[in-house]
Amino acid sequence: MIFNKKLVGDFIIIAIGSSILACGLFNIHAQSSISEGGVLGATLLLKNWFNFNPAITALVLDSTCYLIGFKLLGKRFLIYSLYASMMFSFSYSLYEYIGVIQFLQFDSLLITSIVGALFVGIGVGIVVRLGSACGGDDALALVIQHLIHCKISFVYFFIDIVVLLLSLSYIPFNQIVYSIITVMISSFVIQLIQTYKFKH
């Protein structure tokens, strides 16, 4: 009974985190010219370099990261992560149906990058705190953290910054700058939420 209560509680928290992430990605990132790092950024990179279909490359990259995560982090990671991915997809579709939330639209790209980073950082931070992942880049970050025992903020920042720097091959520098700001802030927020010690 205790296990079931914990499982339900974890799933509710993961759903909240996935919804926050989906809200930020749809209402802020998808509506602006701010680029993505991680797996999504890598799929766009491969599309521009080799004309690979992003739908296929995203599936391959995400599946590979999940399988590695399952191998190193166990069955619980896989179950929680598949649930998080489903909640993210459901939430994103729901936000698409609702339409763009106007008060989350800003004229300033700097404000857009900061607010977007907070949504991503809080949403992902909640999910990874429970040892799960919304996408392949989250799974990869957890795997690398598990292997080399470093701060997850460093892992996220490193993965994203590599993809963003490579993206300079087809994206203007002034556009990448705001993406780097987003990555820096979101990585810090993810680290903060994952490691925060709640007082009992």
- Structural domain includes residue 200: no
Look up residue 143 and give its two tokens: 């795997």
Helices (H) and strands (E) in the chain, counts: 8, 0
Domain hosting 155: range is 2-195
Q: Give pLDDT, residue 198.
A: 66
DSSP state of 104: G
- Structural domain includes residue 31: yes
User: Interior CA angle at 110 toward 107 and 116, to 5°?
Assistant: 90
Q: Give pLDDT, residue 23.
A: 93
Average pLDDT on 62-80 reads 92
Number of domains in the chain: 1
- Structural domain includes residue 91: yes
Single-letter amino acid, residue 83 = Y
- Structural domain includes residue 37: yes
pLDDT tens, 14-35?
999 999 999 988 898 888 877 7
Q: Do the Cβ atoms of 125 and 151 come closer than 8 Å?
A: no
Average pLDDT on 122-132 reads 93
- Structural domain includes residue 51: yes
Single-letter amino acid, residue 159 = I
Q: Do the Cβ atoms of 21 and 95 come closer than 8 Å?
A: no
86 has pLDDT over 70: yes
Average pLDDT on 60-89 reads 92
Of 193, 27, 28, the C-alpha closest to 121 is 193
90: Cβ–Cβ under 8 A, 6 or more apart, which residues?
Answer: none
Q: Give pLDDT, residue 37.
A: 81
Of 107, 109, 105, the C-alpha closest to 174 is 109
